[in-house]
Chains A and B, each alone.
Chain A
Amino acid sequence: MALRPEHEIHTRRKSLNIGVGLMLGGFVVLVMFLTFAKITSSGFQIPASVGKGVGEQISTEGSN
C-alpha cells in the first residue's frame, strides 16, 4: 500500500503529466546537446573575465 493514496486528479491527468514530463526531459537533453555544440564549435572562446577569474583562483591555491 502506498504511503499516501494518489489523488484522483493525478489519475485523470496522468497522460498530460507524462507528456509534459517527457517534453521537459527532452528540453533538458536538447539544452545539453546545444551546450556541447556551442562549446565545441571552432569560434568558441572562454570569456576573458571568467578565464581570468579561474586563473586567479588557481594561483591563490598554489600560494597557500
Chain B
Amino acid sequence: MTDATNSQSFEKEPQLGDYFALMKPRVMQLVVFTAVVGMLAAPVSVNPVIGFASILFLAIGAGASGALNMWWDADIDAVMKRTINRPIPAGKVTGQSAMYLGCALSGLAVMMLSLSANLLAGFMLAFTIFFYVVPYTMWLKRSTPQNIVIGGAAGAFPPVIGWVIATGSFALEPWLMFALIFMWTPPHFWALALFMRNDYDDAKVPMLTVTHGRRSTRNHILAYTVLLAVLAVGTAFSAIGGWIYLATALVLNLLFLKGAYGIWKRDEEMSEADNFAVERRFFMLSLWYLFAHFVAILIETILKPYGLGGW
C-alpha cells in the first residue's frame, strides 16, 4: 500500500474504543453476569483463575457475535435512530473490519474456552455464536415477526455455558435459567418496539408491531408475561431457588404482570397522549426484573454453605 492510499483510506482512524463498541459491551455485561451466576450456582466449585479465564473467553465470544451482527445489519443500523451511531453506520469502522474481527475473535474464544474449561463449553459457545449470527441475524430477523422469540434463545445460553464450565455436563437448573431469559426477551423487546415504532418501520424489520399490529403486540406482551411469571415463580422450588428467590420473584412478577396488564388495556391514543409512559416504565422494569432474579439466585448460592440459602 502506498503512502497516498494510506492517507486516503484512513482519514478517520478507528480507535480501540470503536472496535470495542462493535462487541456490544452492554450485551456483554448481561452475558458475563448471567454466565457467572450459572457457573457459581453449579454444585461444583471452579478454580478462580480457570473460572475467570473461561468467563472472559465467553464474553469475547459474545462480543464477536455482536461484531458479526453489526457487520450484517449495517444497512438496518444506518436507518434506525437507536443504532445510527454504531461504529459501522457512523463511518468509524468498515464492515469488512467488523467481519474479520468477529470471525477471528469467535475462533479464538471457542478454542480458548475449550482449553480453559472443557470441550462441551466450547461447543456450546460455538453453537451460540452460530445460532445468533446465522439463523437469527442472517435469516429470521428479517423474515419473521417471531424474530425476537428465536433470537432470545441466543441470549439465554450464557448461564447454561456458565454451568457447563463448572460441571462439564447439563442439568435441569441451567435450563430453568435459560427459560427465564428466553421468556423474558419478547416482552422486553416488544415494549421497546411499541415506543420506538418508527425505527423498526423505517428499517423494514418485521417486528410484531409492524406485521400484526400494535393491538396484537400488546396481547402478546401480556401472554408472555403470564407464562414468564409462572416459570419465574416455579423456579423458586428448584435446587437454585429458596426463600429469598421466591420473595424476589413474587414481588417482581406482580409488578411485571401489573405493567403488562397496563400495556394491554391501553390503546394507541392513550399511549401517545403520555408519550408511552407505561410502555417505557415496563421496559425499564424489565431490565431490573432479570437482574434481580439472577442476583437472588446468586444470593441463594452464596448463603448455601452457611445453611441459609436454598430450601
Which A residues lie at the B interface, using CB under 8 A?
8-9, 12-13, 15-16, 19-20, 30, 33-34, 36-38, 41
Whether B13 lies near A16 (C-beta < 8 A) is yes
Of the candidates B3, B16, B56, B116, which one forms a contact with A16 in the assembled complex, judged by CB atoms under 8 Å apart? B16
Number of B residues, CB within 8 Å of A: 15
Query: SS class of chain A's interface: helix, strand, loop or mixed?
Result: helix
Knowing A9-B6, A9-B10, say if A19 contacts B50 (CB, 8 Å). no
Whether B49 lies near A36 (C-beta < 8 A) is yes
Whether B13 lies near A12 (C-beta < 8 A) is yes
In the bound assembly, the distance between CA atoms of A30 and B59 in angstroms comes to 15
In the bound assembly, the distance between CA atoms of A36 and B15 in angstroms comes to 34
Whether B16 lies near A15 (C-beta < 8 A) is yes
In the bound assembly, the distance between CA atoms of A15 and B14 in angstroms comes to 10
Whether A37 lies near B49 (C-beta < 8 A) is yes
Knowing A19-B16, A20-B16, A30-B56, say if A12 contacts B10 (CB, 8 Å). yes
Whether B16 lies near A34 (C-beta < 8 A) is no
Among B14, B15, B49, the most chain A Cβ lie within 10 Å of the Cβ of B49
Q: Which residues of A contact B13 (CB under 8 A)?
A: 12-13, 16
What would 6 A/B residue contacts be, using CB atoms closer than 8 Å? A8-B3, A13-B10, A16-B13, A34-B115, A34-B116, A41-B47
Further contacts, 7 of them, CB under 8 A, given A30-B53, A34-B49: A9-B6, A12-B10, A15-B15, A34-B115, A37-B47, A37-B50, A41-B47
Question: How far does the Cβ of A30 sit from chain B's closest Cβ, in whole Å?
Answer: 6
Question: How far does the Cβ of B62 sit from chain A's closest Cβ, in whole Å?
Answer: 17
Whether A33 lies near B15 (C-beta < 8 A) is no
Q: Which residues of A contact B47 (CB under 8 A)?
A: 37, 41
